[in-house]
Amino acid sequence: MPSTPVASLRARLTLGLGALAGLVLVVSIVALVALTRLGGAVGTILQENYTSVVAATAMHESLERLDDAALLLATGQPALAGPLLDRHRPLFAAALEREAAIVTLPGEGALVERVRGDYAEYVAATDRVARAGRRDAGDYFAELLPRSDRVRASVQAIRALNQTAMEAADQRARRVAHDAARAALAVAVAAALLAATIALRLSRSIVPPVAALRDGAVRIGEGLASGDLPDSVPVPPLAELAPLAESLNALLARLRAYRESSLGELLAAQDLARSTIACLLDPVVVVGAEGSVLLANEAAERAFGLREGTAAELLAAAIAVPDPLLAAVADARRLGHPVLPGSLAQAMHHVSPAGERFFLVRAAPLPDRGPDRGRCLVVAQDVTRFRRIDELKSNVVATVSHEFKTPLTSLRMATHLLLEPAIGPLSDSQRELVTTARDDTERLRLLVEKFLDLARIEAEAGEMVRTAVLPRHLLASVVEGHRTVAAARSIALSSRAPDDLPSVWLDPDKMAMALSNLVANALQHSA
């Protein structure tokens, strides 16, 4: 009974693909959040600490140059100290203001104020030394260098404080990146497992119904070829495929009804075919693929002792299909089309208790239907009567030709003797008549020889008996056989062949006959 579809194929595909799209969206959101957190950590490092480190480094560099200027003032070189002071005091002040504007760490503000105070004292002391105008390096080491060291220590403290904060922020950023990677990996693994589960469930819910429907269609096709139609095609639980399965079941019902309605006609046609084959006078056999005999009429049973049965049954009954029939069946199967004999010479020779018979074997492959494949129809046409008539014709020709040969030889000898001078003189009219009679007897002799050769060739079935023959001997024998006729026509007939010609491998009788025909034709058409 057909099952009710529980869901549509579109709904299942939409649900499965929607779930996969949701998984992709979740993975994308997790990756975006992780990147945002990592970017925020890096931005914090750049905004809060890196600028302070740069400002502290600038103050340190400017302070070094200001120390050089202070030493030059203490040693009485104001001309060299002035440009350094004019250049680096504004740079130091600007760097100090940048640092004061981005104070973010605990204790960083106090350090900035300490730098500001110590730097003011250092500038005031430097100006006093410049106004005093003395050349005493002791002023530098006593007043200026200690103040410069205090400013330098405070600047270094600011830079160290920010570098420590940068290292801590870097560690935090690394932890954020690590945590984000672990979270993204976990979400990706979970998404992959969930996607695989969805794909597996989706394939299990779609592929089996489609495969069952495909198998049902294949069984219908095989049933049409073998005659064994399936009972029904299972209806898949999918709304889109259920109508197709129901249509196939309706088609099966109509095919089954049609086959049942035409079964009587088919059986009648089969009986008619069997009756027709049984009435044939020639043996008719249907050979199966395994050597079984599927059909054999009464003529086949009388001629070859065949009957219907499997290969094992025939073997047990000591019944064998004749080899010429099996050879024709093998050729028909190999070629894929009927095998027909070309002449009576290809007739099968069969000896049975009923006597010697000749059959022309025809074989044709039959279309594959049902379990019987590789079947072949074999018809053995009885041509014994025609073969006997053909043999009788050949025997009559040979007998008549042989009987003609003896009196013809006497007539030929008489005509030749009449033309000899020893017999006596002949008048011109007598000589002309005798010459004409001699020529006609010679032509009749050649004709009789051809008939005898033809009869001999047919008797030997065209087989050639080859032997080694010297060409000069073969030519000499042919010339010798026509020398009398050539002399009567006043024609000089001779043969020439080099002595060093090797022997040739041929049938001397057939070659002599061919050469003799050529020489006879040449003499007949020579003046």
pLDDT at residue 2 in the model: 44
Comparing 29-38, 251-260, 503-512, which segment has the lowest mean pLDDT? 29-38
* Tokens read off for 87: 């250049």
Domain match, 28 and 158 both = yes
CB 119 within 8 A of CB 149: no
> Which of 425, 441, 462 marks a domain boundary?
462
pLDDT at residue 366 in the model: 82
Query: Please, which residues have CB within 8 angstroms of residue 516's CB and are 6 or more apart in sequence?
Result: 449, 478, 481, 482
Residue 449 placed within a domain: yes
Residue 216 placed within a domain: no
pLDDT above 50 for 5: no
Find the mean pLDDT for residues 230-234. 73
pLDDT tens string 34-56: 666 655 555 555 566 777 788 88
* Tokens read off for 91: 């740079």
Residue 506, CB half-sphere, CA atoms under 13 Å: how many? 14
Find the mean pLDDT for residues 223-233. 69
Please give the Cα distance from 468 to 459 (Å, whole number): 23
SS3 of 238, please? strand
pLDDT at residue 462 in the model: 46
Query: Please, which residues have CB within 8 angstroms of residue 301's CB and are 6 or more apart in sequence?
Result: 307
Percent pLDDT > 70 in the chain is 77
pLDDT at residue 7 in the model: 59
CB 486 within 8 A of CB 492: yes
Count of domains observed in the chain: 4
pLDDT at residue 43 in the model: 56
The number of residues in the chain equals 527
CA Rg value for the chain: 62
Residue 194 placed within a domain: no
Domain match, 32 and 118 both = yes
pLDDT above 80 for 405: no
Q: Which residues of 50-60 are buried (b: 16+ CB within 10 A; e: fewer)?
A: bbbbebbebbb
Domain match, 146 and 173 both = yes
Please give the Cα distance from 70 to 244 (Å, whole number): 102
pLDDT at residue 37 in the model: 61
Domain match, 299 and 436 both = no
CB 19 within 8 A of CB 196: no
State residue 350 phi and psi, 5-degree precision: -130, 130
Question: What is the band of 347 on the pLDDT scale with cuts at 50, 70, 90?
Answer: confident
Comparing 345-354, 435-444, 468-477, 506-515, which segment has the lowest mean pLDDT? 345-354
pLDDT at residue 259 in the model: 67
Domain match, 446 and 501 both = no
